[in-house]
Structure 1
Amino acid sequence: MKQLEGFGKFLESLRGKMSLREAANKSGLSHAYIRDLELERNRSTNEKINPSPVTLKKLSDAYNIPYTDLMEKAGYLENESEQVGSSKAALQEPVSMNDTLFIEVSSKEMIYHTRFERISQAVTSLLDFSVFMDKLEEMGFKKMDTDLFVNMNHVQKYNEREGKLYFDALGISKFVVIAAIRQKKYHDLILRSVARNTGVGLEFHYERPSAADSLLSSVRRPI
């Protein structure tokens, strides 16, 4: 399947009355890049550009249009019926999602990070990739950067100043650095997740007590 003729105009029609800056805030893409996609060329080099599957996922979320529809119109899904036949096998994750701390995603591979392993899985079907992306939200994952999805059920410490999420209460093991725009968007969710996962009251995180107060609070917390 070839890309829809006038695909850039189609993207512009999806944006509608939404300003470029509003579309940028919703998608995490720059407003200049969104405009380049609508014009189908890089205005700095005048070279033709095509959005990647990851970019299309961001736009589908921002414009509230099914991801597979965008993938088809962009020419990535050449024969959906053939790809559907292989979906069941391709959607088998190489590791339990409950044990996965975070996932790095690209159009070519997905890298699963657990407490003890780092497992890579190639993306063999773009249709499966789109289905998988839709499933992540249902499994408790949130998009915290361009290609980073974090399992909020495992976050136990939040360093707001550095934008770091840790998967242990002491902050000495694995961590991820999240994008500033996502940090602002999910600030309250992060605090609630940490409180839930550690058993420490939400007010404890909002007050940001001193180290001594933290120790005292831990001692007083009922077992």
Structure 2
Amino acid sequence: MNGLAQPISNFGKFLESLRGSMSLREAARKSGLSHAYIRDLELERNRSTNDKITPSPDTLKKLSAAYGYPYTELMIKAGHLMSGDIVPAASFTDVSIELTNVYFIEIGAKEITYHLEGNKLLRSIDSLIDFSTFLDKLEENEFKKMDTDLYVNFNQVRRYDDKRGRLYFDEMGKGVSVTISAIRQRKYHDLLIRKAAVNTNKSLEFSFGRSTGASSALSGPENNL
């Protein structure tokens, strides 16, 4: 990047315009956020402390789904991304993405973001038929749903921190990571341990289920974030 990303002027007003005639309580119901917090975001300050606030990427994802506005565009307008960080769909329409090289995929309201090593690729969701085929293809390539809109390539997971619910795509655990929901962590716990071992050519020297801290040997020291 050539500089730091900056939010647009009056981003809170922009969020309020996206909500339109929708009531705060309706927006809260659709997004899973509290109506008070949504209003704070629109005012760009915490009304209890008067501190300036900026929505996190996770919050923006929820608002994207509630308002039907592209997640990536919200990220750019909020200052989390620069437009240069994303390769526009039109620039690689005819280029096939090799799923085996993709770390994880985020599915927004209208687009799909592929995260690879040092790169992000964006494509729009053209139709439900294409999207259904796309999900089938993900399953065939060992992508697992880790959160509402997050699919992780288990063949790329090289470190699993079970205490934080975090997956890394490098063995040292210092690079890109994703946080998974608790319910998915319970469902895939043993498989994640196995995959992290296989992907780093390590052997499993414990019996599954014998110790809840068994994966710690793979997740490494607590200070590796």
Q: TM-score under structure 1 normalisation?
A: 0.51
Residue in structure 2 matched with residue 145 of structure 1 by the alignment: 147
How many angstroms apart in 2 are the aligned matches of 1:180 and 1:202?
23
Task: Find out whether 1:164 has 2:166 as its counterpart.
Answer: yes
Residue in structure 1 matched with residue 135 of structure 2 by the alignment: 133
Residue in structure 1 matched with residue 157 of structure 2 by the alignment: 155
How many angstroms apart in 2 are the aligned matches of 1:172 and 1:108?
31
Residue in structure 1 matched with residue 198 of structure 2 by the alignment: 196
Would the aligned equivalents of 1:102 and 1:149 in 2 still touch at CA under 8 Å?
A: yes
Would the aligned equivalents of 2:112 and 2:123 in 1 still touch at CA under 8 Å?
A: yes
SS at match of 1:133: helix
SS at match of 1:127: helix
1:203 Cα shift?
Answer: 2.2
C-alpha root-mean-square deviation of aligned residues, in Å?
A: 2.8
SS at match of 2:155: coil
How many angstroms apart in 2 are the aligned matches of 1:210 and 1:180?
20
Q: Deviations over 1:33-67 (max 9, x none)?
A: xxxxxxxxxxx87xxx9xxxxxxxxxxxxxxxxxx
Structure 2 CA distance for partners of 1:208 and 1:105, relative to 1, 3 Å: closer
How many angstroms apart in 2 are the aligned matches of 1:205 and 1:92?
47
Query: Counterparts in 2 of 1:1-223, with a 5 A limit?
Result: 94-203=96-205, 207=214
Structure 2: gaps of 5 or more residues:
1-24, 31-92, 209-213
Structure 2 CA distance for partners of 1:108 and 1:195, relative to 1, 3 Å: same
Structure 2 CA distance for partners of 1:195 and 1:205, relative to 1, 3 Å: farther
SS at match of 1:202: coil
Structure 2 CA distance for partners of 1:135 and 1:210, relative to 1, 3 Å: closer
- Percent identity between matched residues is 44
1:139 Cα shift?
Answer: 0.7
Would the aligned equivalents of 1:94 and 1:121 in 2 still touch at CA under 8 Å?
A: no
Q: Deviations over 1:86-113 (max 9, x none)?
A: xxxxx97752111100000134110000
How many angstroms apart in 2 are the aligned matches of 1:204 and 1:196?
14
Structure 1: gaps of 5 or more residues:
1-43, 50-90, 216-223
How many angstroms apart in 2 are the aligned matches of 1:159 and 1:205?
18
How many angstroms apart in 2 are the aligned matches of 1:161 and 1:145?
17
Aligned residues: 126
Q: After the TM superposition, which segments of 4 or more aligned residues of structure 1 sit over 2 Å from their partners?
A: 91-95, 203-211
How many angstroms apart in 1 are the aligned matches of 2:207 and 2:119?
30
Structure 2 CA distance for partners of 1:128 and 1:162, relative to 1, 3 Å: same
How many angstroms apart in 2 are the aligned matches of 1:203 and 1:92?
46
Q: Deviations over 1:158-197 (max 9, x none)?
A: 1111100000110000000001000000001101100100
How many angstroms apart in 2 are the aligned matches of 1:196 and 1:186?
15
Structure 2 CA distance for partners of 1:144 and 1:92, relative to 1, 3 Å: farther
